[in-house]
Structure 1
């Protein structure tokens, strides 16, 4: 998709709006995992998620190559839309964002606050995306897909930062929604010549990439009913799947209960807020804890945009089991 020079240039573009995010080794997480753990804090960006990087790189090229673009349109469950709204506002480009009905109220508010014209349509992401595509053709707007080489190039800049700060990571756990994050990690690792094993993470309630990875072909699912909305994907992107199958070792599936436990662990051990997809890598690492003794583990905390009601449900005093509270 790109070379190291292009990745370095993308990092410069992202850096005009997003300072490098921290990568911390938290001792309480190390105690919990029984090994050294490095967390890449993409919850510390201007939109609270890694996606902002892709939007900035995508809009920079679009504005440079097609300066008269009348506006952009896309579909999202939240972070992709915030990214595009944030980047579009910096370039003076109108943004229309479609979300499914019942989408996160707080993510919807954030997208509007960043300047997006928000439209609710359909029962899930796929329905919203299909309607956004029809609207793009009807109104002559530029349709921004959920997966694109420029989006991957942009989000790969967080992996560039992490792997240069911690080049000796043995294994890196990355959540999978539409696939840009894990593809960016794979590309950055390969361009830097690192040996880090990359493991994808999906929800048991939305396992389309995990099923596709195992089958060697795109496999869709009928539903994606996970509370970790950043992983709620029914239809994998073929280009992303090809990169993942070539560059990832496996995909681990985690339940919503395991994700909730990981959200609590991040809160108690680091006092960082993690959304469902952001906590999923920790959930997967905890599931595979017995395999990780003596290894240096990287976790992508991809975002912190969790609705308060869900946070209260998952982190409230009565949420954790007695044994889990004792461990924490």
Structure 2
């Protein structure tokens, strides 16, 4: 499997246009809406990029479309793919691989989201639970892929990121005057796609990364200027539950992000409730984290035009019930 370091990754507007054409062959562009209730709560003019409206309910579906197109062209004899996930990436890859007639072997950590697991199986994944967290499952997935002759789908790859960047292409095509965009960070494809789309358009919009204060590897790495692993990443915002930074992603957000903000479990839950009451949209933990960061920085952002990426809406019903009752899901 080809890898490309983030320092060498650039996209032209034409490359993003071609990726968008491919993606839009399977899904409609997601909307970006201005919500007065969110503006009233934060003091900013808030625009939400609704990746929760995408097929699979999350932005990752875009990368599955472009990655699978690349794989079928460059490795036509591949019998299938193997990857690791907490859920949204796995749904994307299983959906794309199954549609292409390929095997989709997907590793998740033990105790992973029941409903995300069911969704991945629904898209055709052979699901294996292994290890205590995503990073442990990822190591095993890479080993098994080699042993079984399957194509590795890493968490970061140029063709995967090019697909993910199409949400940034849509957002910046519609709103070229955003002061700031807040983006959650797990392995980093989302923030990197946003940065690369901004750079392709030559815009001055600041891109702010958001992590859980219980999974701070990206923030610590950004601030140290070097890769920093953490000992754990136990957050109910499972899309951000990463211990080990991805160098290719760090090479991009390390130079392209304005800053990285950490938010608490309580702040994420508050943002989920605000999304529901102000917009009646369901946001999973990682999807709500950008709004949580904006709420934390409301004084700094007062009066500005701000985008927040609602990256996904896939959360188990039991956890969401806990949130709506005013609590924080325990992990």
When normalised by structure 1's length, the TM-score is 0.96
| Deviation sequence 1:172-197 (CA, Å, 0-9, x none) | 00000000000000000011011111
Give 1:302's match in structure 2, choosing from 298, 302, 311: 311
Query: What pairs with 1:40-59 in structure 2 (closer than 5 Å)?
Result: 40-59=49-68
| Deviation sequence 1:116-169 (CA, Å, 0-9, x none) | 000000000011111111111111111110111111111000000001111110
Give 1:242's match in structure 2, choosing from 251, 264, 278: 251
CA distance in 1, matches of 2:21, 2:138: 30
The structural deviation recorded for 1:92 is 1.2
The corresponding residue for 1:220 is: 229
1:203 aligns with 2:212: yes
The corresponding residue for 2:116 is: 107
Any idea what SS the aligned residue of 2:56 has? coil
Any idea what SS the aligned residue of 1:74 has? strand
The corresponding residue for 1:78 is: 87
The structural deviation recorded for 1:13 is 0.8
Any idea what SS the aligned residue of 2:276 has? helix
The structural deviation recorded for 1:4 is 2.0
| Deviation sequence 1:66-109 (CA, Å, 0-9, x none) | 11111100000000000001111221111000000000000000
Query: What pairs with 1:257-296 in structure 2 (closer than 5 Å)?
Result: 257-296=266-305
CA distance in 1, matches of 2:76, 2:217: 37
The corresponding residue for 1:325 is: none
The structural deviation recorded for 1:298 is 0.3
CA distance in 2, matches of 1:190, 1:312: 40
The structural deviation recorded for 1:319 is 3.7
Instruction: Let me know the Cα RMSD of the aligned residues.
Output: 0.9
Any idea what SS the aligned residue of 1:47 has? helix
Any idea what SS the aligned residue of 2:58 has? coil
1:122 aligns with 2:131: yes
CA distance in 2, matches of 1:165, 1:267: 24
Structure 1: where are the runs of 5+ without partners? 321-328
Any idea what SS the aligned residue of 1:119 has? strand
The corresponding residue for 1:17 is: 26
Structure 2: where are the runs of 5+ without partners? 1-8
CA distance in 2, matches of 1:243, 1:286: 26
Any idea what SS the aligned residue of 1:294 has? coil
1:153 aligns with 2:180: no
Segments ≥4 residues shifted beyond 4 Å: none
